[in-house]
Structure 1
Amino acid sequence: MIRKIGRPLRRIALIAVGLLAALILLYRFVDPPLTPLMLIRLVQGDGLRHSARPLAAIDRDLPRAVIAAEDNRFCRHWGIDWSAVGEALEDFDEKGRLRGASTITMQVARNLFLWPGGGFLRKAVEVPLAVAIDLAWPKWRIIEVYLNIAEWGPGTFGAEAAARLHFGKPAARLTRREAALLAAILPSPRHWSAGRPSAYIERRAGIIAGRIDKLGGWLDCLD
């Protein structure tokens, strides 16, 4: 009985792995049309504002601001920032609370293929997916896809839709302050606004904008 059940499960697992591998290779060249989170927001009634843009059509400060806010070592790691993982595990041992250690690549993997929310199971799937994406895509493509599928407001996905919603302009014309404000709201884009920032978001954006210059050569994968 166990063998009978095990064979179809292995077959399903192999098919799933093959499908994921094919999609990773496809999305290296083709912009993802939808993500699971986009579909969830549609069902929730938020609508969908999304228009993919190449990295060249997005102001250069936005990817830099996002890296400064979300993943300082983006240009140096291989999909997983093991230093951040180690720090998160130390915090968990001391405080009993697991804080995030997600890289931008891990967020791309999660947004493209997985479900929202936390938990060890999703992380266990997210890690190998992130490593595979980092092996298959150049860094500029990873940040390009991230900027085009990240959520920046209710039903608002991608830098172009975000720039038009919050500032009434295309993503190519963002200022550094506006780029930093967009990066600042990424942790909670349904509750924070870049166009009408609170004092906290203004302070956070100021820190992010200042960090861009400090990172210097750590952003060289975007050049």
Structure 2
Amino acid sequence: MWKKIKKLFFILILANILFIVWGKFFNPPITLTQIGGLLEYGKLKRDYISYGEMGTHVKKAVIASEDQAFFSHNGFDYKAIEKAMKHNEQGKKLRGGSTISQQTAKNVFLWQDRSWIRKGLEAVYTFIIELVWSKDIILERYLNSIEMGRGVFGVEAASEYYFNKNAKNLTKSEAAWIAAILPNPKKYDPKNPSAYLKRKHSWIMRQMNNVNLK
């Protein structure tokens, strides 16, 4: 029995290693979050594109919105985590401190919840992809797999869904609208923005001026 358990454990580790290495060259065939969206909404709008096909505006907008230290941290933004912990301790609405690298690890390899098991695995995968993948690859995987609406995944599908154009052709304002719906794309709609979303859009537009793509 113990030998079978060790064998199974070894197979799982090997499969994960192969999947991580494979992911350096290819986008995931499908993710657990995408399966969940398909089951919940009966549709899966997704169109993987290369890093170069994404254009500049949407990259800057998402980095400005989600993780302005993306190119300088090692996968974990400890200042953002500390701020999030202090904010949450005050009993306010929960705020996350996850980086784009952490969100990529979650979106590509794991599932969506707040359990300690998932967070622990997320940390492991984040550490590994920061070592094995480049920042451009991490950002490409993130922008292709991130949920951008009900059954809509990735910036290309979001660009087509909200603005009827390719991601590379988005204006600065349109890219900021797409970034503004993160991290709650099921709640917010750039076609019918709330006052909060309008304020966030304006903030992202300003912050995009501070983002330099490496």
TM-score by length of 1: 0.88
Matches within 5 A, 1:1-223: 4-5=1-2, 7-92=3-88, 95=91, 99-215=95-211, 219=212, 222-223=213-214
Q: Which runs of 5+ in 1 are unaligned?
A: none
Aligned length: 214
Pair 1:98–1:124, CA change in 2 (3 A)? farther
Structure 2: distance between partners of 1:200 and 1:96:
17
Structure 2: distance between partners of 1:85 and 1:21:
28
The Cα shift of 1:103 comes to 0.7
Bigger mean CA deviation after superposition, 76-85 or 8-17: 8-17
Asked if structure 1 preserves the Cα contact closer than 8 Å seen for 2:63 and 2:70, the reply is yes
Pair 1:198–1:23, CA change in 2 (3 A)? same
Deviation digits for residues 171-221 of structure 1 (CA, Å, limit 9, x no counterpart): 111001111111110111112112332222121011011011134xxx3xx
Code of the residue aligned with 1:200 in structure 2: it is Y
Indicate the RMSD between aligned Cα atoms, in angstroms: 1.9
Code of the residue aligned with 1:79 in structure 2: it is G
Identity in percent: 34
Q: Which runs of 5+ in 2 are unaligned?
A: none
Code of the residue aligned with 1:67 in structure 2: it is I
Asked if structure 2 preserves the Cα contact closer than 8 Å seen for 1:46 and 1:154, the reply is no
Bigger mean CA deviation after superposition, 85-94 or 196-205: 85-94
